[in-house]
Structure 1
Protein backbone atom coordinates (compact mmCIF):
# COMPACT_ATOMS: atom_id res chain seq x y z
CA UNK A 1 0.00 0.00 0.00
CA UNK A 2 1.25 3.42 -0.83
CA UNK A 3 2.48 5.56 2.08
CA UNK A 4 0.08 8.46 1.43
CA UNK A 5 -2.93 6.17 1.21
CA UNK A 6 -1.93 4.44 4.44
CA UNK A 7 -1.40 7.79 6.14
CA UNK A 8 -4.81 8.99 4.90
CA UNK A 9 -6.57 5.91 6.29
CA UNK A 10 -4.63 5.92 9.54
CA UNK A 11 -5.73 9.50 10.22
CA UNK A 12 -9.36 8.36 10.57
CA UNK A 13 -8.58 5.17 12.48
CA UNK A 14 -6.16 6.73 14.94
CA UNK A 15 -8.70 8.92 16.77
CA UNK A 16 -11.12 6.13 17.85
CA UNK A 17 -8.26 3.86 18.97
CA UNK A 18 -6.74 6.64 21.05
CA UNK A 19 -10.12 7.48 22.58
CA UNK A 20 -10.78 3.85 23.48
CA UNK A 21 -7.32 3.53 25.01
CA UNK A 22 -7.86 6.51 27.29
CA UNK A 23 -11.42 5.41 28.07
CA UNK A 24 -10.30 1.94 29.12
CA UNK A 25 -7.55 3.41 31.32
CA UNK A 26 -10.05 5.81 32.89
CA UNK A 27 -12.59 3.09 33.60
CA UNK A 28 -9.90 0.89 35.12
CA UNK A 29 -8.75 3.74 37.40
CA UNK A 30 -12.19 4.71 38.74
CA UNK A 31 -13.46 1.30 39.78
CA UNK A 32 -15.88 1.55 42.70
CA UNK A 33 -14.62 0.19 46.00
CA UNK A 34 -15.73 -3.34 46.89
CA UNK A 35 -18.55 -2.93 49.41
CA UNK A 36 -19.86 -6.45 49.93
CA UNK A 37 -16.76 -8.54 49.47
CA UNK A 38 -14.09 -10.22 51.53
CA UNK A 39 -11.63 -7.50 50.57
CA UNK A 40 -13.88 -4.79 52.04
CA UNK A 41 -14.29 -6.76 55.26
CA UNK A 42 -10.55 -7.30 55.44
CA UNK A 43 -9.90 -3.57 55.03
CA UNK A 44 -12.57 -2.67 57.59
CA UNK A 45 -14.74 -0.80 55.12
CA UNK A 46 -18.41 -1.19 54.45
CA UNK A 47 -21.26 0.47 52.62
CA UNK A 48 -21.82 3.02 55.41
CA UNK A 49 -18.61 3.71 57.28
CA UNK A 50 -19.24 6.81 59.40
CA UNK A 51 -17.59 7.95 62.60
CA UNK A 52 -20.61 9.96 63.72
CA UNK A 53 -24.30 10.12 62.79
CA UNK A 54 -25.42 12.48 60.05
CA UNK A 55 -26.88 15.06 62.49
CA UNK A 56 -23.70 15.44 64.52
CA UNK A 57 -20.87 17.51 63.17
CA UNK A 58 -17.86 19.02 64.88
CA UNK A 59 -20.08 20.59 67.55
CA UNK A 60 -22.95 18.59 68.91
CA UNK A 61 -26.37 20.15 69.51
CA UNK A 62 -26.10 20.61 73.29
CA UNK A 63 -22.41 21.52 73.43
CA UNK A 64 -21.57 24.53 75.60
CA UNK A 65 -18.58 25.57 73.47
CA UNK A 66 -20.43 25.86 70.19
CA UNK A 67 -20.08 29.26 68.42
CA UNK A 68 -23.84 29.90 68.52
CA UNK A 69 -23.91 30.07 72.36
CA UNK A 70 -20.98 32.47 72.76
Structure 2
Protein backbone atom coordinates (compact mmCIF):
# COMPACT_ATOMS: atom_id res chain seq x y z
CA UNK A 1 0.00 0.00 0.00
CA UNK A 2 1.46 3.37 -0.97
CA UNK A 3 1.37 6.53 1.11
CA UNK A 4 -1.50 8.09 -0.90
CA UNK A 5 -3.61 4.96 -0.34
CA UNK A 6 -2.89 5.15 3.39
CA UNK A 7 -3.95 8.81 3.46
CA UNK A 8 -7.18 8.04 1.61
CA UNK A 9 -7.95 5.09 3.89
CA UNK A 10 -7.49 7.31 6.92
CA UNK A 11 -9.64 10.08 5.43
CA UNK A 12 -12.38 7.59 4.52
CA UNK A 13 -12.55 6.63 8.18
CA UNK A 14 -13.96 10.11 8.79
CA UNK A 15 -15.38 11.30 5.45
CA UNK A 16 -17.45 9.68 2.70
CA UNK A 17 -16.13 9.64 -0.86
CA UNK A 18 -18.75 12.25 -1.72
CA UNK A 19 -17.49 14.53 1.06
CA UNK A 20 -13.88 14.02 -0.04
CA UNK A 21 -14.83 14.93 -3.60
CA UNK A 22 -16.38 18.17 -2.36
CA UNK A 23 -13.46 18.94 -0.03
CA UNK A 24 -10.59 18.05 -2.39
CA UNK A 25 -12.05 18.57 -5.85
CA UNK A 26 -11.00 15.00 -6.80
CA UNK A 27 -13.84 12.97 -8.34
CA UNK A 28 -15.18 9.94 -6.47
CA UNK A 29 -14.10 7.56 -9.24
CA UNK A 30 -10.48 8.63 -8.88
CA UNK A 31 -10.66 8.45 -5.07
CA UNK A 32 -11.97 4.88 -5.34
CA UNK A 33 -9.26 3.93 -7.84
CA UNK A 34 -6.53 5.43 -5.65
CA UNK A 35 -7.93 3.61 -2.62
CA UNK A 36 -7.97 0.27 -4.43
CA UNK A 37 -4.51 0.75 -5.96
CA UNK A 38 -5.87 0.82 -9.51
CA UNK A 39 -4.00 4.05 -10.31
CA UNK A 40 -0.27 3.56 -9.89
CA UNK A 41 0.80 7.04 -11.04
CA UNK A 42 -1.84 9.58 -10.03
CA UNK A 43 -1.81 12.98 -11.68
CA UNK A 44 0.12 15.56 -9.72
CA UNK A 45 -2.96 17.78 -9.33
CA UNK A 46 -5.16 15.03 -7.87
CA UNK A 47 -2.43 13.63 -5.63
CA UNK A 48 -1.49 17.11 -4.41
CA UNK A 49 -5.15 17.97 -3.71
CA UNK A 50 -5.57 14.87 -1.54
CA UNK A 51 -2.21 15.34 0.21
CA UNK A 52 -2.90 19.02 0.86
CA UNK A 53 -6.29 18.30 2.38
CA UNK A 54 -4.91 15.37 4.39
CA UNK A 55 -2.13 17.43 5.99
CA UNK A 56 -4.49 20.34 6.76
CA UNK A 57 -6.96 17.91 8.32
CA UNK A 58 -4.23 16.23 10.39
CA UNK A 59 -3.00 19.60 11.61
CA UNK A 60 -6.53 20.58 12.71
CA UNK A 61 -6.90 17.24 14.53
CA UNK A 62 -3.59 17.55 16.38
CA UNK A 63 -3.87 18.72 19.97
CA UNK A 64 -2.59 22.22 20.62
CA UNK A 65 0.76 22.34 22.36
CA UNK A 66 0.57 24.11 25.71
CA UNK A 67 3.60 26.13 26.83
Output the TM-score relative to the length of structure 2. 0.31
Pick the structure with more helix per residue: 2
Higher relative contact order (CA 8 A, sep 6+): 2
Output the TM-score relative to the length of structure 1. 0.30
**Which of the two has higher C-alpha Rg?**
1
